[in-house]
């Protein structure tokens, strides 16, 4: 069993050093793989040579019998697939026994998603003739154009957005950086905000942040949330709308249009494609082309 524990340590080190995954993600992988190794030890396995596809299936059945949800079992299998794929690529096993195991079907509901028409009404709600309205219009467009988390949106710096080439640099979870294309609508509204509204909101103060609130300070998550609620009501949408609803809508609209799942995963900044798969029943230029082709406001 010591050999398998050593393999787990190598894998976790790979996730941290090579993949740069967040601490919480690595801890989750460690728990899932560690639980599997404890299971195979109870079933008489002492090394990789004793582990085969039926044993992995037996483990998943055991998790189901323990009451774990389909989503939790799928996450566990994703961790095991990564573990065995790493061992295979390192030449430690002759084949990957997890390849033939399918992900458990999940009964998880589709995230709350707005229609393209509802999104358009909200995006058109701010008054661009006022400084705050111009700022809010740019923020809403950016939120939808790049599928950002609200913390990523309010944390954007002036240097993070290049409207000339249509790219935004995002610092996501686990300090992972990604580049996301933005379309013509977002570029135009951000440019207008930078030229007209931001200097007025800054009130002579220097700030590296892109979007400013009262007194030239960075706008907070709570401040933006209030703005979004107000514009949703103005657009005639009665149900609760959260900033994350726009992120869900971004992903769903791209996938419904035919975008590649892994490209959407890259734009969202998901470490695992299983996270992106809740929206379904690379290179920088490729991502830009996909965004322009499939995004409703690209």
SS (HEC) of 204-239: CCCCCECCECHHHCECCHHHHHHHHHHHHHHCCCCC
Q: How many helices (H) and strands (E) does the chain have?
A: 14, 3
Cα 17 to Cα 8, 23, 24, 150, 268, distances in angstroms: 14, 11, 14, 27, 21
> Which token pair is 113?
């998603």
Say which DSSP state 124 is in.
T
**Which sequence positions are flagged as catalytic?**
149, 173, 244, 247, 270, 279
Integer Cα distance of 76 and 34 in angstroms: 10
SS3 177: strand
Integer Cα distance of 121 and 99 in angstroms: 45
Query: Cβ–Cβ contacts within 10 Å for residue 133, how many?
Result: 17
Closest CA to 22 of 270, 243, 267: 270
């Amino acid at each position: 069993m010591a050999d398998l524990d050593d393999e787990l340590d190598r894998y976790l080190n790979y996730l941290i050093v090579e993949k740069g995954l967040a601490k919480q993600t690595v801890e989750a992988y460690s728990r899932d793989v560690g639980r599997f190794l404890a299971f195979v030890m109870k079933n008489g396995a002492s090394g990789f040579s004793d582990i085969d596809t039926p044993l992995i299936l037996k483990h998943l059945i055991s998790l189901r019998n323990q009451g774990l949800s389909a989503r939790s079992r799928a996450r566990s299998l994703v961790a095991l697939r990564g573990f065995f794929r790493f061992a295979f690529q390192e030449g430690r096993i002759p084949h990957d026994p997890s390849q033939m195991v399918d992900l458990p079907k999940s009964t998880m509901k589709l995230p709350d998603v707005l229609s393209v028409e509802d999104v358009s009404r909200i995006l058109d709600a701010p008054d661009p003739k006022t400084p705050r309205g111009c700022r809010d219009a740019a923020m809403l467009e950016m939120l939808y154009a790049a599928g950002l988390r609200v913390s990523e949106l309010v944390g954007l710096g002036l240097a993070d957005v290049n409207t000339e080439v249509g790219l935004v640099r995002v610092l996501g979870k686990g300090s992972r950086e990604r580049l996301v294309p933005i379309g013509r609508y977002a570029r135009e509204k951000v440019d207008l905000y930078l030229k007209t509204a931001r200097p007025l909101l800054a009130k002579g103060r220097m700030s590296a942040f892109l979007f400013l609130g009262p007194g030239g300070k960075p706008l907070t998550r709570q401040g933006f949330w209030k703005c979004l609620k107000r514009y949703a009501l103005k657009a005639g949408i009665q149900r609760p709308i959260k900033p994350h609803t726009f992120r869900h809508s971004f992903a769903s609209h791209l996938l419904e249009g035919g975008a590649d799942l892994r490209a959407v995963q890259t734009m969202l900044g998901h470490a695992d494609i299983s996270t992106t798969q809740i929206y379904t029943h690379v290179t920088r230029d490729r991502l830009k082309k996909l965004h322009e082709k499939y995004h409703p406001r690209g």
